[in-house]
Structure 1
Amino acid sequence: MSLPLPSNEDKDELLVSCRYGDLEDVQDFVSKFGHGPVNELRDASGNSVLHMVAANGHTDVLDFLLTVVAPTLLSAQNNAGSTPSHWAALNSHLLVLQKLVQFKTGPGVDLLDVKNTAGRSPLGEAENIGWDEGAKWMVEVMNLEDGKAEAGEDQVLDGTEEIQVEIQDAEGQIAKMKIGQQPPKDS
């Protein structure tokens, strides 16, 4: 027996339930219509159920949805290129952000590298609003390696090399600095 298809009104009600954290209504929708419509549903701006939950910090609804949605929904981008992680960062919801990033079958810390159409990652959004707690956590868990060294391989410098470091700020500007031993000045 196949499940009924949700009406547009049913879909709208699910998005509202996710926005306002009505776990029982979300569970009822899934029981009645299954997982498929939950994964496919988007509002006019391209936001998924996870966008709604992440933006509003509803961890109980998020915990339930993570058991029924496809892991690819964690990295789904809306029309502005923002993922649920962007919205969690923009609204300072650390626990939601942690659950999204640490979800065992999801993209993991790679979620923190996705940039929206404004050119900002979730870290950039956190920095943009001055959310230090979230920015600090993201920096602690991010992959900051640039891939030049092989895994498990230490790079040893003898002090004569000069290293150029690039740092990107919240607005996407790149600052370059050189680190290394400068030759002694002739007196």
Structure 2
Amino acid sequence: MAPTTDEQEEFLLSCRYGDLDDVKQFIDQFGVATAAEIRDDNGNTALHMLCGNGHADVLDYLLPIVPPTLLSARNSAESTPLHWAALNSHLDIVKKLVQFPGGPGIDLIDIKNAAGRSPLGEAELAGWDEGAQWLVQMMKLDPGGDVKEGEADDADTNDPVEGEDVSVAPEGIEIEIEDADGQMAKMRIGGQP
């Protein structure tokens, strides 16, 4: 039996508010496949709801059982759950999404929403330096700007990620990214300011 519209809305609200018992009850009653297909009027999934609100316990429960493709699911604004976690400064959630075995991994960092921003861009726009720095570190750029082994299938090039300029400085790595207004913003990782 399929859930009613009200039951689907209640499930999304349970994810939004971090009600793990209600989430488990829905999964037990209707199954993981049904839960993974539910979207609100804006295309948001259960992962959007819980990641945007920082509910690590619900994420820990759902990540191992939902299809890995749900991690890169986009809403009507083309944002992924990682965009929402970055926008709302939830480092624990950001780490779990990017580091989840069998998931899209660091490729999640490159997905741009309808506004043209990646999760890194959302973190930068929100002024969340800790999250932006962690995301940059996960991009596996070394001080020479080279892609480290295992980075991507196109790792035969030593060019920085498109739209980003990586410079080596004695006091750390300086990155230049395009901000939400199309302006270039600089960020230093490591070393002294």
User: Normalising TM by the smaller chain, what interval?
Assistant: 0.7 to 0.9
Residue from 168, 171, 178 that aligns with 1:169: 178
Shift of 1:36: 1.2
Q: Could you say which residue in structure 2 is the equivalent of 1:72?
A: 69
CA deviation profile, 1:77-132 (whole Å, cap 9, x unmatched): 00001000000000000000100000001000100000000000000000001000
Amino acid at match of 2:19: D
Which 4+ runs in 1 deviate beyond 6 A? none
Alpha-carbon distance in structure 1 between the residues aligned to 2:81 and 2:92: 13
Q: Could you say which residue in structure 2 is the equivalent of 1:92?
A: 89
Mark the structure with the bigger radius of gyration.
1
Shift of 1:67: 2.1
Alpha-carbon distance in structure 2 between the residues aligned to 1:129 and 1:49: 23
Q: Could you say which residue in structure 1 is the equivalent of 2:22?
A: 25
Q: Could you say which residue in structure 2 is the equivalent of 1:61?
A: 58
Shift of 1:143: 4.2
Residue from 2, 6, 12 that aligns with 2:3: 6
Alpha-carbon distance in structure 2 between the residues aligned to 1:122 and 1:174: 17
Shift of 1:60: 0.3
Residue from 99, 124, 129 that aligns with 1:127: 124
User: Please, what TM-score do these two structures have when normalized by structure 1?
Assistant: 0.79
Could you say what secondary structure the match of 1:116 adopts? coil
Amino acid at match of 1:62: L
Higher relative contact order (CA 8 A, sep 6+): 1
Shift of 1:68: 1.8
The answer to whether the 8 Å contact 1:120/1:172 transfers is no
1:16 aligns with 2:25: no
Amino acid at match of 2:74: Q
Amino acid at match of 1:109: I
Q: Could you say which residue in structure 2 is the equivalent of 1:106?
A: 103
Could you say what secondary structure the match of 1:69 adopts? coil
Unpaired runs of at least 5, structure 1 = 150-165, 176-187
**Corresponding pairs, count:** 157
CA deviation profile, 1:24-46 (whole Å, cap 9, x unmatched): 00000000001111110000000
| RMSD value, Cα | 1.8
The answer to whether the 8 Å contact 1:123/1:170 transfers is no
Q: Could you say which residue in structure 2 is the equivalent of 1:118?
A: 115
Amino acid at match of 1:140: Q
